[in-house]
Amino acid sequence: MTFDYDLFVIGGGSGGVRAARVAAATGAKVALAEEYRMGGTCVIRGCVPKKLMVFASGFSEMFDDARAYGWDVTDGPFNWPKFRTHLHTELDRLEGIYRKLLGGSNVEIFDARATLKDAHTVSLATGQEVTAKHILVATGGRPVVPDMPGSELGITSNEVFLLDEMPKSILIVGGGYIASEFAGILNGLGVNVTQFYRGAQILRGFDDEARGLVAEGMREKGVNLHLGTNIVEMRAASEADLANPQGVPMEDGRPVAPKAHSGAKGIWVKATNGTEQVFDQVMFATGRSPNTEGMGLEDIGVEVGRRGEIVVDEYSQTKVPSIYAIGDVTNRVQLTPVAIREGMAFVETVFKGNPTPVDHDLIPSAVFTQPELGTVGMTEEEARDIEPVEIYCTSFKPMNHAFAGRSDRVLMKLVVSVATRKVLGCHIVADHAGEMIQLAGIAVKMGATKEDFDRTVAVHPTMAEELVTMKEPMRTA
Ligand code: NDP
């Protein structure tokens, strides 16, 4: 049987684009369909614009620090429209690069939504149908908003980069990566930020000590973080709500029942802790769901899991042998570099005849909260459930913050196996923790022992030198 293409990729995000390019480099005839903008979540409405906003938000503290270091600077207000224009120019540039890279690799681009007709046939929204020997689904995910009355009034991380104006106040719902990162970003940009998280501590799944320090740091910087708290009800604010934005709506000095939407600006929110408040915006960062709806997957035999994810084996192959899936749509590890790895492993397996399972072990990652968190390997809580461990840990005020009169503390922590001496986990809360954990991640991935860390000479004066100078365990567990 002959096909139009050797490979048809659905989705132009980081994983799909990389797989398409690398497959084309083997001489395969490759096409890729994208219904929105090339670059996907990471480039267009995720990691890249988020990180640029992290940079933008950091300047508010830098002005204070600069004065402490002797600079005669005055800080002015943040100009969101000016930044947003620059941001979108940059995103346009990056999208252009993605297109150019695909074109340069001889990947044919279809700017259209694609769905699956059968194991080898893709239907495009343009009405065209094309066939391919292999199909790779890399359609990513999208934010999910809880099903509650009024939740349609809220925004998600998709819209935050497109706002016409910065809100004066915002309620962020959720305690994961996105909620906690945007709490810091918007707080740094001068927005009055309240964050509700339903659990006992934000950043569930990360090391307890590290998440505690991040939460403490966020509060110190001004984020109004409420734990064990969620929204009960929300609606467009009435005039009465606005007259008393911090509490129960009042009329003639008496509380009144909430009114229907009066056209007034703002969102009235009733919380599980009994408070009623009006916010300019509410942002939901309550998780992401794989983009599998309406693609015809189940009709042709591709298994879709309970969370809407495509079920794949270790080679990213679905139940239909010609169809593979990578990235967030498989809901394995929702991180850009992992999607890219999965794309490369797919090409290695299918186009280079070298079956390569995806290695999801010891993935370093960073949460760009303020303070930043970098992590690789097991948390103390995970490790101590498996084997006896030693915990090496230090928390201190770094010299740059101490000099500037800031109270921010950093944390350096190693979780070490008593039996093998291997460093099982490394957790850092500090400025540039993401940069540090990338490098510490190499050592941990190589199986370095605590003694290997100790043999490494410190780089002085740095924060990271503490990783190689912690002599005594703080505790065993
Ligand atoms: P997460 O899964 O990290 O967090 C979702 C949060 O929303 C959790 O705190 C969860 O609470 C809460 N939540 C879920 N449902 C509800 C509800 N109905 N009401 C109230 N709260 C709710 O998702 P994110 O959206 O933050 O991020 C998605 C993924 O994107 C992450 O898993 C990560 O892999 C990736 N990402 C990575 C980044 C990075 O590498 N720096 C940055 C941004 C995203 P609970 O804990 O109780 O379930």
| 334 alpha carbon – ligand 1 mean position (Å) | 10
Please compute, for residue 223, the number of CA atoms within 13 A of its CA located in the half-sphere on the CB side. 31
User: Which two structure tokens, joined as six digits, stand for 178?
Assistant: 């996105």
Atom of ligand 1 nearest to the CA of 367: 41
Query: Nearest to residue 189, comparing CAs of 149, 152, 222, 154?
Result: 222
- Give the per-residue pLDDT at 453: 98
Residue from 177, 204, 342 to probe ligand 1 pocket by mutation (most atoms less than 8 Å from CB): 177
Minimum-distance ligand 1 atom for the alpha carbon of 157 = 25
* E-state strands within 34-153: 107-110, 114-118, 121-124, 129-137, 141-143
Residue to probe by mutation, ligand 1, list 43, 286, 331, 367, most atoms within 8 Å of CB: 286
Q: What is residue 75's predicted lDDT score, i.e. its pLDDT?
A: 85
| Distance from the Cα of residue 53 to its chain's centroid | 13
Give the angle 178-380-228 at the CA atoms, nearest 5°: 45
Considering only CA atoms, which of 242, 183, 130 is closest in space to residue 367?
Answer: 183
Q: Is the shortest distance between the CB of 211 and ligand 1 below 6 Å?
A: no
* Ligand 1 centroid to residue 174 C-alpha, Å: 7
In short, whether 199's Cβ falls inside 6 Å of ligand 1 is yes
Q: How far does the centroid of ligand 1 lie from the alpha carbon of residue 180, in Å?
A: 9
Ligand 1 atom closest to the CA of 144, numbered from 1: 25
* Tens-binned pLDDT, residue by residue, of the chain (477 aa): 899 999 999 999 999 999 999 999 999 999 999 999 999 999 999 999 999 999 999 999 999 999 999 999 998 899 999 999 999 999 999 999 999 999 999 999 999 999 999 999 999 999 999 999 999 999 999 999 999 989 999 999 999 999 999 999 999 999 999 999 999 999 999 999 999 999 999 999 999 999 999 999 999 999 999 999 999 999 999 887 877 665 544 444 444 443 333 344 799 999 999 999 999 999 999 999 999 999 999 999 999 999 999 999 999 999 999 999 999 999 999 999 999 999 999 999 999 999 999 999 999 999 999 999 999 999 999 999 999 999 999 999 999 999 999 999 999 999 999 999 999 999 999 999 999 999 999 999 999 999 999 999 999 999 999 999 999 999 999
So what's the pLDDT on residue 240? 79
With 0.85 as the threshold, say if the pTM is over it.
Answer: yes
285 Cβ closer than 6 Å to some ligand 1 atom: yes
Which DSSP helix (H) or strand (E) runs through 276?
strand 276-279
Does residue 237's CB lie within 6 angstroms of at least one atom of ligand 1?
no
- Distance set, CA 395 to CA 66, 269, 411, 427, 464 (Å): 24, 37, 4, 11, 12
Q: Is 88 a catalytic residue?
A: no
Cα(173) to ligand 1 centroid in Å equals 10
Q: Which residue has the tokens 């503290």?
A: 61
H/E element, 423: strand 423-429
Q: Which of 14, 147, 172, 178 to mutate to test the pocket of ligand 1 (most atoms within 8 A of CB)?
A: 178
Ligand 1 centroid, distance to 474 Cα (angstroms): 31
d(CA 331, ligand 1 centre) in Å: 13
**Per-residue confidence (pLDDT) for residue 257, from 0 to 100:** 40
Ligand 1 atom nearest to 336, measured from its CA: 40
Looking at residue 246, what is its pLDDT? 58
Rounded Cα–Cα distance for residues 34 and 109 (Å): 8
